[in-house]
Amino acid sequence: MRVLLPVIIGLLYATGIYLILRRSMVKVIFGLVVLGHAANLMIFTVGRLTKGSPAFVPHGATGIAEPFADPLPQALILTAIVIGFGIQAFTIALFKKTCQSLKTEDLDEMRNTDQLEKESP
Amino acid sequence: MLGLIATGFLASAIAPVLYKRYRENFGWIAVLFPLYMFFGFLSRYPEIAAGNSVRESLPWVPSLGINFSFLLDGLSLTFALIISLVGAAVFLFAGAYMKGYRDAGRFYLYIGVFMTSMLGLVLADNMLLLFVFWELTSFSSYLLIGFNHHKESSRKSALQALLVTGGGGLALLAGILLLGSVTGTYEISSFYDMNRIITSSALYPAIVVLLLLGAFTKSAQFPFHFWLPNAMEAPTPVSAYLHSATMVKAGIYLIARLNHEIGGTPLWQDTVLITGAVTMLFTATLAFRQTDLKKLLAYSTLSVLGTLVMLLGIGSELAIKAFFIYLIAHSLYKGTLFLVAGTIDHETGTRDVGKLAGLRKAMPVTAAAAALASFSMMGVIPLIGFIGKETVYKAILELDRWGLPLIGAAVLANACVVMVTLLVGFRPFLGKAKETPRQAHEAPLKMLLGPSLLAVLGLLIGLFPDFFISAMLEQSARNILSEELSLKIVLWHGFNLVLILSFVTLLLGGLFYALRPVVLRYSFFSSLPALFKPSSWYESALKGMLSFAKLQTLILQNGYLRNYTIVIVLAALIPASFALYRAAEEVSIIPDYSITFYEAALGLIIIISTGLLITSTSRLKSIVSLGVMGFSIGIIFVIYGAPDVALTTFAIETLNVILFVLVLQKLPKFLKLSRSSNRIRDAVIASGIGVFMTLVVLFATSFNISTELKEYFAAASLPEGKGLNVVNVILVDFRALDTLGEITVLTIAAIGVLAMLKTATGRKAQP
């Protein structure tokens, strides 16, 4: 698993980036979700893996004996997951609104605000 | 001296308020400030003349070597006296001149800031401090040139001056930093004995080029001279003050100040000499086709600036002597003449020399001041200008190399200056009076006092040079050449070659004046081909920059989201992979291939779900794949001791799937939008990122990390957080503010979602 997990992380990143580069807006949102997974898993892995022993203080003791999983990356990921969900919910709602008002989900058709004004001929 | 500078800025800041209160009489109040400065500096005169210098220093950013250090020595005292004296004349003059302007209060703010910065510039003993004041003068010059901001030509000229001097300022900064890296200090007085270290450094040519670029743009040397005549858009007191007497001399001050420290090499001396000589002659000939009083004066100022730079390039004792006399002489007579031009403009309503004549009856005092200054400018005995010109000729004649062509150039240039003087100083006052837009009458006292004072001073110094300036010059020359000079200045040298040259100059000037109408009839001078006009280089550079910006925007800011993403991703990926490649040489990764059955199964599920997510054309199938992927990742969290994370993941994945299904169910199938070439390109980029991230994780996990935090949280959780689940304790106790922020973000997102789902779709898109 020490090798499999980095490979899975790489795969998730690749999938996320590929989806974000699509023209369809839904796929871009999927890409965001996948990238979120990738980042969380990466923080988790880089913080070192410990199998089967969560950071719980046993009853009656004051501390935990090694080995136990590092609680700090977990806390960080928890925050990230929840905020990630906020972003997803927002983009999904935004997507719905966009489709309703523009009748398209093709990002290439939503670029006139970023274009320089056409020179008058 | 720091107090003086601070007071200066403070006084400038309250000037608009005071102006509102006193209006008409504000000129009399404003003049107190430069006068106070002038007498303050004058009181130091005996001390400096005795050979002492005053240095003050207060740390500002000591770690970077930036200090508020000021040095008053002969050179800075000379400049400080000129700045404050001409300042006094100009402030008083402006009191009457600016009466008709709407924002005259603001004018005093700008010009006060300018004067203070200019004083700071010449007093600064720290190169970086000098740079700050240098930029402040460019900046206040910009505001003052563009003072009539409702006129397009004013705005354009102001921007031009700012871009040219500001660009030079950047070069100067680079030069200062290089100089600092060679010497290890930014204090100018510490450079004093470092000439050998600096000139033998490998960076020396770069330092010289950069510093001189700064100096030449500021002092409007060829080919950067074009901004100065355009700067005549400014109100006349500004032209008199900034663009003839003080600011344009900042570059010259810099060259003089650093001459001893980094000069003495052929590179420095020849560059300065040739640039100065070219400017002197070239700009003087340009004066031929001018008819505007101020433009005429501007071109003669350019010629004088060129002469001053040339003298520094010659660098002999006599040349430095000539430099100082000429510097003082020019400030006095040019200040006067500019103010006279302002008076004429103010009283008659025109500045066209063709339309002005016979004003001496209406304006006798102005005419007298103009005549006095003009004689000085032409170099007529017994004014200071005469001594100046004589000394310049003598210094040039002393040269072995270049001597003959240079003296020819100097005589020609000075003859053009004489012609300008005849046009500006005499022609408007002599002859029969002409009809002018306004009925001419003598200017008020405020406008007469300044120019008259400067003109009379020119006469007094000419008569008693030894008494007024000798001692100061000796000390100043010491700062430039580091030699004790005995500079006896006398008015009369006897009949010799130099005197003959002076006469030749006057005669030639008279001849030019007489021939000018004839020359102008042939269009030879009326327009130079664009290739030879540095101002057109500036125009095309500006245009090129704008079209480059447009091109760049078209390429980078083109509205395609994926292009932005590609740029961002590649810009991060390429240098990061390079860094990883460099760092990975030191590590040997020992992979651990051990794997259990359920881990392998989990991996397989995730791989299949990503494949489905990418290839699927059905929305529902994609959403299900996404859900499967999320739950599998949750199980990974379970295996590696993170039950809280896993629980959250399960909850959120469930919510996510529901939300997706609710929103997306009614929409049609995916369209196949991208071309296959695009898909391949995106796949390559995405795989690059994937491989890179895999390697990063392998690399990062091959080191031992500190377990300090882990142990701290495990030990502190129960006693300090009163909780057994360490992760939860971290979230609600140790990092509670993070969690609070998280809740806030969620709330805002929820409000956003609500707003989007509940509000009606806005305006229908235009058909």
Domain boundaries, chain B: 1-250, 264-525, 706-766
Task: Answer whether residue B451 shows pLDDT above 60.
Answer: yes
Q: Does A25 touch chain B (CB under 8 A)?
A: no
Over residues B581-590, the pLDDT tens digits come to 888 777 766 6
Nearest to A49 by CA among B475, B701, B334: B701
> Span B279-308, mean pLDDT?
89
Cβ distance A1 to B619 less than 8 Å, yes or no, reads: no
Q: 10 Å Cβ neighbour count for B408?
A: 12
> Span B134-157, mean pLDDT?
90
Task: Answer whether residue B286 shows pLDDT above 70.
Answer: yes
3-state secondary structure B583-600: HHCCCCCCCCCCCCHHHH
Distance CA B109, CA B697 (A): 60
Task: Answer whether residue B766 shows pLDDT above 50.
Answer: no
User: Is the backbone of residue B184 left (phi > 0), alpha (psi -120 to 50) or beta?
Assistant: left
Residue B715, Cβ density class (10 Å: 0-12 exposed, 13-18 middle, ≥19 buried):
middle
Cβ distance B674 to A78 less than 8 Å, yes or no, reads: no
Task: Answer whether residue B761 shows pLDDT above 80.
Answer: no
The minimum CA-CA distance between A32 and chain B, rounded to whole Å, is: 11
Cβ distance B710 to A22 less than 8 Å, yes or no, reads: no
More confident residue, B294 or B438: B294
Q: Quickly state the pLDDT bin for B606 (edges 50, 70, 90).
A: very high
Task: Answer whether residue B306 shows pLDDT above 90.
Answer: yes
pLDDT for A121 equals 38
Are the C-beta atoms of B39 and B55 separated by less than 8 Å? no
Over residues B179-192, the pLDDT tens digits come to 999 888 888 888 87
Q: Quickly state the pLDDT bin for B767 (edges 50, 70, 90).
A: very low
What's the full length of chain A, in residues?
A: 121
pLDDT for B492 equals 66
Coil, helix or strand at residue A24: strand
Q: Quickly state the pLDDT bin for B14 (edges 50, 70, 90).
A: confident
Task: Answer whether residue B521 shows pLDDT above 80.
Answer: no
- Ranges of H-type helices in B184-265: 188-191, 195-199, 204-218, 227-230, 236-240, 250-262
> Span B46-62, mean pLDDT?
85
Q: Quickly state the pLDDT bin for B743 (edges 50, 70, 90).
A: very high
Q: Token digits for B173?
A: 């900064």
Average pLDDT, chain B: 86
Which of B694, B718, B724, B742 is the best substitution to test chain A (most A C-beta atoms within 10 A)?
A: B694
Distance CA B318, CA B309 (A): 14
pLDDT for B129 equals 92
pLDDT for B523 equals 57
Over residues B661-682, the pLDDT tens digits come to 888 766 666 666 677 888 899 9
Nearest to A10 among B694, B718, B753 (CB): B694
Residue A47, Cβ density class (10 Å: 0-12 exposed, 13-18 middle, ≥19 buried):
buried
Task: Answer whether residue A40 shows pLDDT above 60.
Answer: yes
Are the C-beta atoms of B333 and B375 separated by less than 8 Å? no
CB pairs below 8 Å between A and B: how many? 289
Q: Token digits for B370?
A: 């103009």
More confident residue, B760 or B15: B15
Taking each helix axis from N to C end, the angle separating B364-378 and B317-348, rounded to the nearest 10 degrees, works out to 150
Task: Answer whether residue B89 shows pLDDT above 50.
Answer: yes
In whole angstroms, how far apart are CA B329 and each of A21, A61, B320? 70, 92, 14
Task: Answer whether residue B341 shows pLDDT above 80.
Answer: yes
Nearest to B714 among A38, A55, A115 (CB): A55
> Span B508-536, mean pLDDT?
73
Query: Which residue's structure tokens are 């990063």?
Result: B696
Which of A41, A51, A64, A76 is the best substitution to test chain B (most B C-beta atoms within 10 A)?
A: A64
Over residues B202-215, the pLDDT tens digits come to 899 999 999 999 99
Q: Token digits for B644?
A: 């809280």
List, as one string, the DSSP characters of B43-101: HTHHHHHTT--EEEEEEEEGGGTEEEEEEE-HHHHHHHHHHHHHHHHHHHHHHHHGGG-
Task: Answer whether residue B478 shows pLDDT above 50.
Answer: yes
> Span A20-34, mean pLDDT?
90
Task: Answer whether residue B353 shows pLDDT above 60.
Answer: yes
Q: Does A104 touch chain B (CB under 8 A)?
A: no
Q: Token digits for B524?
A: 């030879």
List, as one string, the DSSP characters of B298-319: HHHHHHHHHHHHHHHHH--HHH
Q: Does B724 touch chain A (CB under 8 A)?
A: yes
> Span A59-82, mean pLDDT?
86
More confident residue, B569 or A53: B569
Q: Does B714 touch chain A (CB under 8 A)?
A: yes
Per cent of chain B over pLDDT 70 is: 94
Nearest to B659 among A3, A92, A114 (CB): A92
Instruction: Name every chain A residue with its beta carbon within 8 A of the beta carbon of B671.
Output: 24, 106
Q: 10 Å Cβ neighbour count for B186?
A: 23
Nearest to B247 by CA among B373, B370, B145, B129: B145
Distance CA B604, CA B216 (A): 71
In whole angstroms, how far apart are CA B568 and each of A42, B370, B507, B556? 20, 65, 70, 11
Which of B638, B645, B711 is the best substitution to test chain A (most A C-beta atoms within 10 A)?
A: B645
Nearest to A8 among B603, B622, B748 (CB): B603
Q: Quickly state the pLDDT bin for B526 (edges 50, 70, 90).
A: low
Q: Does A109 touch chain B (CB under 8 A)?
A: no
Q: Which of B35-44, B269-278, B557-566 has the lowest mean pLDDT?
A: B557-566
What is the pTM assigned to this prediction? Answer: 0.73
Instruction: Name every chain A residue with its beta carbon within 8 A of the beta carbon of B610.
Output: 11-12, 15, 34
Strands B54-61 and B66-72: antiparallel
3-state secondary structure B477-542: HHHHHCCCCCCCCCCCCCCCHHHHHHHHHHHHHHHHHHHHHHHHHCCCCCCCCHHHCHHHHHHHHH
> Span A97-101, mean pLDDT?
82
Q: Quickly state the pLDDT bin for B558 (edges 50, 70, 90).
A: confident
Label residues B636-664 b or e (16+ Cβ within 10 Å = b): bbbbbbbbbbbebbbebbeebbebbeebb
Are the C-beta atoms of B489 and B461 separated by less than 8 Å? no
Are the C-beta atoms of B614 and B672 separated by less than 8 Å? no
Task: List the domains of chain A with CATH numbers.
Answer: 4-51+65-105 (1.10.287)
Q: Does B731 touch chain A (CB under 8 A)?
A: yes
Cβ distance A78 to B626 less than 8 Å, yes or no, reads: no
- Residues B347, B349, B352, B356, CA torsion sign: negative
Q: Token digits for B148?
A: 């009539």
Q: Is the ipTM of this complex over 0.85?
A: yes
Q: Which of B34-43, B136-145, B398-407 has the lowest mean pLDDT?
A: B398-407
Are the C-beta atoms of B301 and B243 separated by less than 8 Å? yes
B674 CA to centre of own chain: 48
pLDDT for B589 equals 65
pLDDT for B740 equals 93
Distance CA B715, CA B718 (A): 7
Cβ distance B566 to A21 less than 8 Å, yes or no, reads: yes
Q: Token digits for B233?
A: 């858009």
